[in-house]
Chain A
Amino acid sequence: MMMADNKSMAMLPEEMITEVLVRLPVKAILRSRAVCRRWAALVSSEEFCAAKEAAGAGSATEPVKLLFLSRTARFDSTEVRSSDDDGGMPLLTLNGMRRDEARMTSTPCRGLTLLHDPYSGFYVLNAATRAVTMLPPCEDKILHSTTAGLGFDAKTKESKVVRLFIGDGVTPWEAFTRARCEVHTLGGDRWRTISVEGVPCKFAGAALFGAVCDKLAPVFADGFLHWLIHPKFHFATRPAAAVLSFSVADETFSWVRAPPFDWEGAHLTELDSGLCMVREDLLPRASVLSSLEIWKVREDNGGWSLEHRVDLVRLGYKTGYVLTVPQYGRVVGKQGKKMILATSFGRVFAYDLMSQTLELILRLGGISRYETERPVARISLFKERLTPVQRHGAKLQ
Chain B
Amino acid sequence: MAATPADASSSSSEAVVGGEKSNKMITLISSDGESFEATEEAAKMSVTIKHMIEDGCADDGIPLPNVPAKILSMVIEYCNKHAADADDTNKHVADPADADEDDDNNNNNASAGEKEDLKSFDASLVAVDQATLFDIILAANFLSIKGLLDLACQKVADDIKDKSVEEVREIFKIENDFTKEEEEAVRKENAWAFNE
Q: Which residues of A contact B (CB under 8 A)?
A: 1-3, 5, 7, 9-13, 15-17, 19-21, 23-28, 30-37, 39-40, 92, 129-131
State whether A3 touches B175 (Cβ < 8 A): yes
**A3 vs B175: C-alpha distance when bound (angstroms):** 7
State whether A35 touches B176 (Cβ < 8 A): yes
Closest Cβ of chain A to B158, distance in Å, is 8
- Of the listed stretches B79-87, B113-121, B166-174, chain A binds B166-174
| Known contacts A9-B135, A9-B138, A26-B193, then 18 further A-B pairs from the complex at CB < 8 Å, ordered by chain A residue | A1-B175, A3-B173, A3-B175, A10-B130, A10-B173, A11-B173, A13-B138, A20-B153, A25-B161, A27-B193, A30-B190, A33-B190, A35-B168, A35-B169, A37-B182, A129-B190, A130-B190, A131-B190
**A13 vs B138: C-alpha distance when bound (angstroms):** 9
**A21 vs B172: C-alpha distance when bound (angstroms):** 12
Question: Given A34-B165, A35-B176, is A28 in contact with B160 using a C-beta cutoff of 8 Å?
Answer: yes
Instruction: Return the contact of B134 from the options A1, A3, A11, A28 (Cβ within 8 A).
Output: A11
State whether B138 touches A12 (Cβ < 8 A): yes
Bits for B118-162, please: 1 = Cβ < 8 Å to A, else 0. 000000000000110011011001000000010001101100111
Q: Which residue of A lies closest to B129 (CB)?
A: A10
Q: Which residues of B contact A23 (CB under 8 A)?
A: 153-154, 157
Instruction: Return the contact of A20 from the options B135, B156, B178, B187 (Cβ within 8 A).
Output: B156
Q: Which residues of A contact B131 (CB under 8 A)?
A: 7, 9-10
Question: Given A9-B131, A21-B157, is A35 in contact with B174 using a C-beta cutoff of 8 Å?
Answer: yes
Closest Cβ of chain B to A61, distance in Å, is 16
Q: Which residues of A contact B172 (CB under 8 A)?
A: 11-12, 17, 35
Q: Which residues of A contact B60 (CB under 8 A)?
A: none
State whether A20 touches B157 (Cβ < 8 A): yes
State whether A40 touches B186 (Cβ < 8 A): yes
Bits for B23-43, please: 1 = Cβ < 8 Å to A, else 0. 000000000000000000000
**A300 vs B176: C-alpha distance when bound (angstroms):** 56
Closest Cβ of chain A to B162, distance in Å, is 7
State whether B178 touches A34 (Cβ < 8 A): yes
Can you name 6 A-B residue pairings with CB atoms under 8 Å? A11-B134, A16-B138, A30-B190, A30-B193, A35-B172, A39-B174
State whether A1 touches B165 (Cβ < 8 A): no
State whether A2 touches B173 (Cβ < 8 A): yes
Shortest Cβ-Cβ A-B pairs, 3 listed: A30-B193, A23-B157, A30-B190
**A13 vs B134: C-alpha distance when bound (angstroms):** 10
**A40 vs B51: C-alpha distance when bound (angstroms):** 37
**A5 vs B182: C-alpha distance when bound (angstroms):** 26
State whether B141 touches A15 (Cβ < 8 A): yes
**A239 vs B184: C-alpha distance when bound (angstroms):** 57
Q: Which residues of B contact A21 (CB under 8 A)?
A: 157
State whether A33 touches B186 (Cβ < 8 A): yes
Closest Cβ of chain B to A319, distance in Å, is 30
State whether B177 touches A1 (Cβ < 8 A): yes
Question: Given A23-B157, A24-B157, A129-B190, is A37 in contact with B135 using a C-beta cutoff of 8 Å?
Answer: no
Tell me whether B183 is interfacial, beta carbon within 8 Å: yes
State whether B190 touches A28 (Cβ < 8 A): no
B 44-85 contacts with A by CB, 8 A: none
State whether B137 touches A32 (Cβ < 8 A): no
Instruction: Return the contact of B177 from the options A11, A24, A36 (Cβ within 8 A).
Output: A36
**A20 vs B174: C-alpha distance when bound (angstroms):** 15
**A28 vs B165: C-alpha distance when bound (angstroms):** 9
Tell me whether B189 is interfacial, beta carbon within 8 Å: yes
Q: Which residues of B contact A40 (CB under 8 A)?
A: 186
Instruction: Return the contact of B178 from the options A12, A25, A26, A37 (Cβ within 8 A).
Output: A37
State whether A10 touches B157 (Cβ < 8 A): no
Q: Which residues of B contact A11 (CB under 8 A)?
A: 134, 172-173
Closest Cβ of chain A to B73, distance in Å, is 16
Closest Cβ of chain A to B163, distance in Å, is 8
Question: Given A9-B138, A19-B153, is A2 in contact with B187 using a C-beta cutoff of 8 Å?
Answer: no
State whether A28 touches B161 (Cβ < 8 A): yes
Q: Which residues of A contact B186 (CB under 8 A)?
A: 33-34, 40
Q: Which residues of A contact B156 (CB under 8 A)?
A: 20
**A320 vs B134: C-alpha distance when bound (angstroms):** 53
Question: Given A28-B161, A30-B190, is A12 in contact with B137 using a C-beta cutoff of 8 Å?
Answer: yes
Q: Which residue of A lies closest to B154 (CB)?
A: A23
Q: Which residue of B lies closest to A25 (CB)?
A: B161
Q: Which residue of A lies closest to B165 (CB)?
A: A34
Q: Which residues of A contact B169 (CB under 8 A)?
A: 35-36
Q: Which residues of A contact B194 (CB under 8 A)?
A: 31, 34
State whether A28 touches B153 (Cβ < 8 A): no
**A32 vs B138: C-alpha distance when bound (angstroms):** 21
Q: Which residue of A lies closest to B193 (CB)?
A: A30
Q: Which residues of A contact B161 (CB under 8 A)?
A: 24-25, 28
Q: Which residue of B lies closest to A21 (CB)?
A: B157
Q: Which residues of A contact B149 (CB under 8 A)?
A: 19
Closest Cβ of chain A to B136, distance in Å, is 10
Q: Which residue of B lies closest to A39 (CB)?
A: B174
